[in-house]
Amino acid sequence: PKNIMRTVDPAALEILEYTKENNIITAFDRWSAQQPQCAFGYQGICCRICFAGPCRIKGVEGPGSMGICGARDYTIVARNAIRMMAGGCSAHSDHGRELVEVLYHLAEGHAPDYEVRDPDKLRRVAKKIGLEIEGKSDLDLAKEVAEVAFEDYGRHTSEGCKFLKANICEKRIKKYEETDTMPRAIDREVVEVMHRTHVGVDADPVNLIFGGIKCSLADVTGEHISTDISDILFGTPKPVMSEANLGVIDPDKVNIIVHGHNPVLSQMVVDTARELEEEAKAAGAKGIGISGICCTGNEVLMRNGVPIATSYMAQELAIATGAIDVMVVDVQCIMPGLRNVCECFNTKLVTTMSISKIPGSYHFSFEDSKAKKSAEAIIRLAIEAYKDRKNTGRPVRIPQFKNKLMAGFSLEALLDLFAAINPDNPIKVLTDAIINGEIAGVCALAGCNNLEAVYEKNHTEIVKELAKNNVFMVGTGCVMQAAAKHGLLNYEAVEKYAGPGLKRFIDRLYEANKDKLSDKLPLAFHMGSCVDNSRILDLWTEMANALNVDVPKVPFVATAPEGMSEKAVAIGTWVVASGIPCHVGAMPPLEGSNLVWSVVTCIAHDVFGGYFILETDPQEAAKKLLAALEYRAWKLKV
Ligand code: BF8
Ligand code: SF4
């Protein structure tokens, strides 16, 4: 049927009608085909950890209330949950490791296509992790930073990860040491989770969850390494203007979409495309049009203003415009389903990482010793595909929807805005605005898309509701792509949706920074990709230090309105362990155990000060987030 509302994105809706008419199968159809989804899996009470199973918890008593080995609902739910955290930690941290390797190879002279673009950031990071910086060259220091990062992956002693300890408050360090949740080394914590969840090891749900928390703190260590080294290699983001949604695609250009997560690849494609612009024109194109999907899209948006084509759930719909010549992917959140849609439109799908291949696609191995050569080959493939598209007269259909956005708010960029008002103590601009009631607090917007909800409806409703109630918003990942597509990352949105206090605050920031900004400030501040949630951790750490309190007292909340991935589970967990209330708008597989449910929603609060708010209704969620902020702001004042 035509009008089933699966999304509030008008561009996605238009392409969905088209794919339906033409029998092109996408995630939206596959979601329907999966209904009803397995109730055991949905609640987290299906265990496949050994192949005596699968086992399901079938009742509350008798032999059917346990797995064959005797595992109870709480053991199974907790084991499954922390294995998700280990998956998320692996993904983020391995992405970080790639960056450390590039930095190390660069310092050793084996990655000639890369450079240290932000030597100041290199020095700041080096200093923070305790290195002596005086009198050292950039490359020598780069090597030392890379070595400390490598250590954080594989240390055998127990003093804790340096990139974590260097970036959190003293009181949090103490808390993690007391609760045995301080990660020793990233790889080690992943291995420990895999070990303790093997058949017949840890059966205690609380012990399991604490193990998961330790792994999630290893996750944020890997995220911080990713952010720091990306900034060192490619530059620390500054405010930048761009556009978002499928309307950014120009059919008369050679169109390349970068999709995945690692800027090691996407940044090289963006830089190289500039140099090959003339070749594209010689082929009859207006130029090379690069746009992004998912977090690698966020990386090149933040640093170069590359427009956003769309977010995770609509990746296949971008191909179905018919106007994409090459989609180049690296790792994470790349749907295998892309392949079939690419086939329909003769789009070339290019994989680049040895651990991430898709049958039937092209593979251009991307190694840092010959990165530029690979990028050139990919762009030339796109130019050939463009010629082919024009020669065959393939129909294109581009929904005419896009919105203007401002992004590029690294923590440095944000503090720089504040510094124009208070140069001696920039963060006080934010904390004072909370204490004097101008704004209600801060909310971090993070996470994915999940068709359990109407695509991008939760995101947009929560942003509007929080804005109305004067919440200052920062964010990362696919939520910010949703916000951008719906016109929520520009000043027009401030005029439309911000409450009076928030509007005054954003206007005041703009007035003080007018000279260096090309446009007025947005309703919500885009801080980057999902690994850049590390920037958000830094923000609340700054606030806690300025207020002279531990993080659980800071009026700061987080929301993942359509959480989905294992990475999101890891992030949500370290957010809670940091002391922040964290809303999730798609139900994680925890409902099968009341005990685990109460651990994450209540007991976590007693131990760490943060807790999960599991709520699928966006209006209710906004109310709960606001109540949490109000309570914290009130406590601060008394
Ligand atoms: O790391 S928000 S769908 S793209 S997992 Fe994936 Fe989720 Fe998007 Fe970025 Ni993050
Ligand atoms: Fe079943 Fe236990 Fe094996 Fe899980 S570990 S599949 S509950 S026997």
**DSSP codes of every residue in 558-600:** EEETT--SHHHHHHHHHHHHHT--EEESS--TTTT-HHHHHII
* Digit-coded pLDDT (tens) for 329-340: 999 999 999 999
Same domain, 107 and 224: yes
Question: Hunting for tokens 């990139």 — which residue is that?
Answer: 163
Domain that holds residue 355: 246-392
- List % helix, strand, coil for the chain (3-state, nearest 5): 55, 10, 35
E-assigned strand segments in 207-246: 240-244
| 578 in a structural domain | yes
Length of the chain: 638
Question: β-strands 55-56, 46-47: how paired?
Answer: antiparallel
Query: Which of 392, 425, 453 marks a domain boundary?
Result: 392
Nearest CA to ligand 2 atom 2: 69
Question: Is residue 239 in a domain?
Answer: no
How many A from CA of 69 to the centre of ligand 2?
A: 6
Instruction: For a ligand 2 pocket test, name from 51, 55, 66 the mutation site with the most ligand atoms within 8 angstroms of its C-beta.
Output: 55
Same domain, 452 and 387: no
Same domain, 109 and 188: yes
The residue from 234, 262, 280 where one domain ends is 234
The reply to whether 303 falls in a domain is yes
Q: How far is CA 546 from the centre of its chain?
A: 27
576 and 428, same structural domain?
yes
My answer on whether 420 and 455 are in the same domain is yes
pLDDT value at residue 395: 87
Residue 445 in 3-state DSSP?
strand
Q: Which residues pair with 209 in a beta bridge?
A: none
Q: How far apart are CA 408 and CA 305, in angstroms?
A: 8
pLDDT reported for residue 638: 78
Give the ligand 2 atom nearest the CA of 66.
7
Q: Are residues 481 and 604 in the same domain?
A: yes
Q: Is the pLDDT of residue 348 over 60?
A: yes
Q: Is residue 599 part of a domain?
A: yes
Q: Is residue 452 part of a domain?
A: yes
**Residue having the nearest C-alpha atom to atom 7 of ligand 2:** 67
Answer yes or no: do 372 and 425 share one domain.
Answer: no
What is the Cα–Cα distance from 259 to 242, expressed in whole angstroms? 17
Please say which residue of 358, 392, 426 terminates a domain: 392
d(CA 638, CA 623): 23
Q: Are residues 431 and 556 in the same domain?
A: yes
Contact call for residues 582 and 572 (beta carbons, < 8 A): yes
The 3-state DSSP class for residue 12 equals helix
Q: What is the CATH number of the domain that holds 463?
A: 3.40.50.2030
Structure tokens at 198: 């093997």
- Indicate which ligand has the atom closest to the C-alpha of 80: 2
Contact (Cβ atoms closer than 8 angstroms) between residue 218 and residue 152: no
Answer yes or no: do 339 and 254 share one domain.
yes
Give the pLDDT confidence score for residue 1 in this predicted structure. 42
**257 Cβ below 6 A of ligand 2:** no
- Please determine, for residue 80, whether its predicted confidence score (pLDDT) is greater than 80: yes
Pocket probe for ligand 2: among 40, 46, 48, 68, the residue whose CB has the most ligand atoms within 8 Å is 68
User: Measuring from each residue's beta carbon to the nearest atom of ligand 1, which residues come in under 6 Å?
Assistant: 261, 294-295, 312, 333, 447-449, 477-478, 529-530, 564-565, 567-568
The identity of residue 576, as a single letter, is V
Q: Where are the alpha helices (DSSP H) in 254-356?
A: 263-275, 277-282, 294-304, 315-319, 338-345
The per-residue pLDDT for range 231-284, each reduced to its tens digit, is: 999 999 999 999 999 999 999 999 999 999 999 999 999 999 999 999 999 999
CB 65 within 8 A of CB 73: yes
**Domain annotation covers residue 399:** no
Task: Flag whether 562 is in a domain.
Answer: yes
Asked if residue 259 and residue 187 are part of one domain, the reply reads no
The count of domains in the chain is 4
How much distance in Å is there from the Cα of 70 to the middle of ligand 2?
A: 8
Ligand nearest 259 Cα, by number?
1
Sheet holding 556-560, edge to edge: 524-528, 471-476, 441-445, 556-560, 582-584, 612-614
CATH assignment at residue 80: 1.20.1270.30
**Residue 382 contacts residue 277 (beta carbons within 8 Å):** no
Flag whether 128 is in a domain: yes
Rounded mean pLDDT of 514-523? 97
Tell me the C-alpha distance between 568 and 194, whole Å: 18
Do residue 382 and residue 521 come from a single domain? Answer: no
Cα–Cα–Cα angle for 372, 377, 383, nearest 5°? 125
Please check whether residues 352 and 220 belong to one and the same domain: no
Cα(554)–Cα(533) distance, integer angstroms: 17
